[in-house]
Amino acid sequence: MKAVILGATKGMGRALARRLAARGDELFLLGRDVDDLARSARDLEARAGRPPQSIGGAACDLEKPEGFTAALDAAEAALGGLDTVVVTAGLFATQERLEADPGLARRLLTVDFANTVVFCEEARNRLLARGGGTLCVFSSVAGERGRKPVVIYGAAKAGLSRYLEGLDHRFRARGLRTVCVKPGFVRTGMTEGLKSPPFAGEPDAVAASVVRAIDRGRPVVYAPGVWALIMLVIRLLPRFVMRKIGF
């Protein structure tokens, strides 16, 4: 596999990149901070027993869509074409913070929905041009239902999930496989300070199921798997119950 990962330096993206590197996939890393990308590239090389500088990286910021083309050009040049694009990057903030700061809410909606879609459009065009490939994007269980603690973040992720579903319907026949990852609560730097619910997952366990989903081309994957059941129940709850509960 020749994969480019946007957001490989932290959390689930880091764990996923390590699993892909360990099994021999060729990787190119995209992210905001080039020094941090270099540290992650050296980590992946050392873990996978590859020569230094064999994994490249380039700056790419979901707040700066004008840089998407150059970043993907760099990835394609370094890898000699690519067949897999993974997006784990995104912004997170609690509902309280987003309600108190409309500027932050606007930023989050732009990054997690609008600009992620723009990035994916650029990526899927390239994949389709070479006859297909995999587009794996991290959405969230927060987008499954309008819920009190994630009204704004959940709305952005709901939009993203719908977009990926649409891509799957429209382009699957032409060889584009979309994988929409819906993580439940996972213990990473992103969820620091939040109260950990039961069934909280670890990044490496999520990464393992995402690798399986990429290999099989599964359009939707809940990780950890138990969240598929939890969200099934949540989707079935009537509105008057959702108004009462805090989940």
Partner 1 sequence: MSDEGTLSGWGCAPVVPGREVHSEDLADVTTGMPLTRGLGRSYGDSSLPAARDRRVASATLADRILSFDPDSGLLRAEAGLSLSEIYRLFLPRGWFAPVTPGTQFVTLGGMVAADVHGGNHHVAGCFGAHVTRLRMRVADGRIVDCSREQEPDLFRATIGGMGLTGHILEVEFKMARVSSPWLWGETEQARSVGQFFDLLGRAAADWPFTKGWIDCVSRGKNLGRGIMYRARWATPGEAPARPPAHKKGFALPVYLPSWAFNRVTARVFNELYFRGHPTRGGRLIHPDAFFYPLDGVRHWNRAFGHAGFTQWQCVVPHASGLPTITRVLELVTSRGLASPICVIKDCGPQGEGLLSFPMLGISIAIDLPVRPWTRPLIDALNDLVLAEGGRIYLAKDAFTRREHFQKMEPRLGEWQAIRRRWDPEGRLRSAQSERLLGDAS
Residue 23 interacts with partner 1 (CB under 8 A): yes or no: no
User: Nearer Cβ to partner 1, position 65 or 203?
Assistant: 203
Work out which of 24, 80, 193, 238 binds partner 1, going by CB under 8 A. 193
Q: Nearest distance from residue 106's CB to partner 1, in Å? A: 23
* Token representation of residue 18: 């390590």
Whole-angstrom distance, CA of residue 224 vs CA of residue 105: 27
Angle, helices 151-171/116-129, rounded to nearest 10 degrees: 20
Query: 217 near 173, Cβ under 8 Å?
Result: no
Residue 40 interacts with partner 1 (CB under 8 A): yes or no: yes
User: Nearer Cβ to partner 1, position 43 or 122?
Assistant: 43
Whole-angstrom distance, CA of residue 205 vs CA of residue 238: 32
Of these residues, 153, 163, 222, 227, which one is catalytic? 153
Let me know if 153 is a catalytic residue: yes
Region label for 38, one of left (φ > 0), alpha (ψ between -120 and 50) or beta (otherwise): alpha
Angle, helices 11-22/203-216, rounded to nearest 10 degrees: 60
- List 177's β-bridge partners, or say none: 134
Residue 145 interacts with partner 1 (CB under 8 A): yes or no: no
Residue 47 interacts with partner 1 (CB under 8 A): yes or no: yes
Work out which of 23, 34, 42, 175 binds partner 1, going by CB under 8 A. 42
Q: Nearest distance from residue 239's CB to partner 1, in Å? A: 30
x/- map, 152-191, partner 1, by CB under 8 A: -----------------------------------xxx--
3-class SS string, 74-108: HHHHHHCCCCEEEECCCCCCCHHHHHHCHHHHHHH
Catalytic residues: 153
Residues near partner 1, by CB under 8 A = 9-11, 14, 39-40, 42-43, 46-47, 49, 52, 187-189, 192-193, 195
